[in-house]
Structure 1
């Protein structure tokens, strides 16, 4: 895959070689993210962050990633704060904003909207999530996290045994991750969810057609003895009402007792965050916070590395990083 100048819109763009390159460059970003050194390879470049749907981690990590490479960040948050609220088309917005930018990261509540926007952009556009469709950068950081966590146990992405649990119908993160996992060998995917929130048939078919074992169930008991549990929240914003979402909230909570009863000693817990900690939901109990295999915060930090890598690759500076290093001159306890 040619990265330089390309949009990053869907995980369907990637083969295993492209993914390996992204994960390799992501690992190279660790010294900069941990403040062991600085890199100003994108000094003077401008990222426009266009987030027309609520976001904390994705929006901030995109900006942080660009800053860590020396670039400047401009942000528009909320459709009501843009000319879209005045009837401007995505194409027209893209034509204008790309003229102000070197790269754009975008999130929008409408499926396929980021691809529509990219058609009008003269600079690379990176999809930060388009409705219930895809979240390619989250899937890449999830894959990077799984690879990193499995290395501790002498395992790899091939022959992975993973459980996807929660709202699998609306959770774009699990849709994108499943598509990436289909590229690997001998994967077992157990999908645990209420029957009404099961994984879309098209996603299941992608895994099955690639020769992987898929188990679909609405039962936790007997189905969590795996390498990775990937928990997702009930996507309230995708339901017609809060009352409808409440029908499913809290049915698939994971706590220390359930972990010890059903999981393996090495089972890693992941979640794209935010986790819903309200009593009626409590997807991942706080009694798991001291568990060494709880990877959710390492997972979030890995988002910065992967997004740094995507900026470096799309702007063609991935082989110039060490030429633009500087020492860190302030106190930091990150390293």
Structure 2
């Protein structure tokens, strides 16, 4: 497995990646999928410690980063929430960063302030991975989204190049779509359709980035129009935690459900969502009536987080080349890798 250019780097933005690096990461993730599923074992990071600093709520990112690091043989040291850290006593982020640097080999950090992860990274000599910085970016989520999409399209005989991509929902505050647009712009001849209420449109700089790299960019506040003919429908929830006051809910038009897909979507469309989806009445997010629709890829998407983050950690800590020779069979019992709502083609093909 050839080395990437990521060894020793902070991972703060999707802007850091080019297509050759993505291809190397995804090839390494393919190799690590059996490890992610508990079928094989590697200990290439035995003795390494990851600091997991989450100053904002998380389920998938925190747990999957932890699991990915431990699947590589490393250990994880946690701190969750501001209240249980010395920041609540007035300590600066820079001081916290310097202290944690003496305990860990790498840090994954989430913070509601967009600049906090950059301030933290500037004060340390160890790699820092951005686990979500306010409404800014979420680069590891974008990596797993793109990896999952590439696998879905390969199964369907499609490629990302030339695809029609519909991004739906709160595109102003949705950090996952901000990072995803940056990565998608590395591909060729896309049509990127931004579907959102007028007050929640994609930041202009990201639209200009995509257009400047030769992609066709469209904007609409009409989901029925925006979803028509899309190869990928990527939904996001209303980011209520990013608003200072009361937030008006989406209109019913933004409920992506079986009826809307029947009226607009291609038979082989892929439906994704970074999760969590808001299932409360009136939220008008991605509907649970799609749970048995084989086009819904949200759990295949979340499963992709383990091998992709494993590949990223191995690359940043410079052990990617050691992985092929380190693999050995796991000895514990594992059930068949399929959930009760999974499509038949998913059987035995998790991640």
Q: State the TM-score, normalized to the length of structure 1.
A: 0.97
Contact 1:34 1:334 in 2 (8 A): no
Residue 99 in structure 1 maps to residue 102 in structure 2: yes
Contact 2:257 2:286 in 1 (8 A): yes
What's the offset of the Cα at 1:296? 0.4
What's the offset of the Cα at 1:83? 1.1
Task: Indicate the larger mover: 89-98 or 51-60.
Answer: 89-98
Contact 1:22 1:310 in 2 (8 A): yes
Residue 230 in structure 1 maps to residue 248 in structure 2: no
Which residue in the other structure is 2:165 paired with? Answer: 162
CA distance in structure 2 between the partners assigned to 1:261 and 1:268 by the alignment: 15
Residue 254 in structure 1 maps to residue 249 in structure 2: no
Residue 86 in structure 1 maps to residue 86 in structure 2: no
CA distance in structure 1 between the partners assigned to 2:160 and 2:24 by the alignment: 15
**SS of residue matched to 1:50:** strand
2:208 to 205, 208, 215: 205
- Post-superposition CA distance 1:155-183 (Å, at most 9, x none): 11211111000000000110110111111
Which residue in the other structure is 2:276 paired with? Answer: 274
- Post-superposition CA distance 1:229-273 (Å, at most 9, x none): 0000000000112x22x3436551111111111000001100000
Which residue in the other structure is 1:57 paired with? Answer: 60
Which residue in the other structure is 1:329 paired with? Answer: 331
Q: Residues 249, 90 of structure 1: CA spacing in aligned structure 2 closer, same or farther, 3 A cutoff?
A: farther
What's the offset of the Cα at 1:325? 2.5
Contact 1:25 1:318 in 2 (8 A): yes
What's the offset of the Cα at 1:276? 0.2
Which residue in the other structure is 1:314 paired with? Answer: 316
Which residue in the other structure is 2:156 paired with? Answer: 153
**SS of residue matched to 2:225:** coil
Structure 2: give runs of 5+ residues left out of the alignment.
338-351
Task: Indicate the larger mover: 16-25 or 6-15.
Answer: 16-25
Which residue in the other structure is 1:299 paired with? Answer: 301
1:16 to 8, 16, 19: 19
Counterparts of 1:214-229 in structure 2 under 5 Å?
Answer: 214-224=217-227, 225-229=229-233
Contact 1:132 1:172 in 2 (8 A): yes
Contact 1:147 1:157 in 2 (8 A): yes
Which residue in the other structure is 1:76 paired with? Answer: 79
**SS of residue matched to 1:152:** helix
1:143 to 143, 146, 161: 146
Contact 1:253 1:282 in 2 (8 A): yes
Contact 2:222 2:253 in 1 (8 A): no
**SS of residue matched to 1:29:** helix
**SS of residue matched to 1:222:** helix
Contact 2:110 2:117 in 1 (8 A): yes
Contact 1:107 1:114 in 2 (8 A): yes
**SS of residue matched to 1:158:** coil
Q: State the TM-score, normalized to the length of structure 2.
A: 0.92
Which residue in the other structure is 2:46 paired with? Answer: 43
CA distance in structure 2 between the partners assigned to 1:200 and 1:325 by the alignment: 43
Which residue in the other structure is 2:178 paired with? Answer: 175
Which residue in the other structure is 1:120 paired with? Answer: 123
What's the offset of the Cα at 1:300? 0.6
What's the offset of the Cα at 1:15? 1.4
Task: Indicate the larger mover: 17-26 or 104-113.
Answer: 17-26
Contact 1:250 1:283 in 2 (8 A): no
What's the offset of the Cα at 1:286? 1.3
**SS of residue matched to 2:330:** coil
Contact 2:194 2:226 in 1 (8 A): no
2:266 to 264, 267, 279: 264
What's the offset of the Cα at 1:277? 0.3
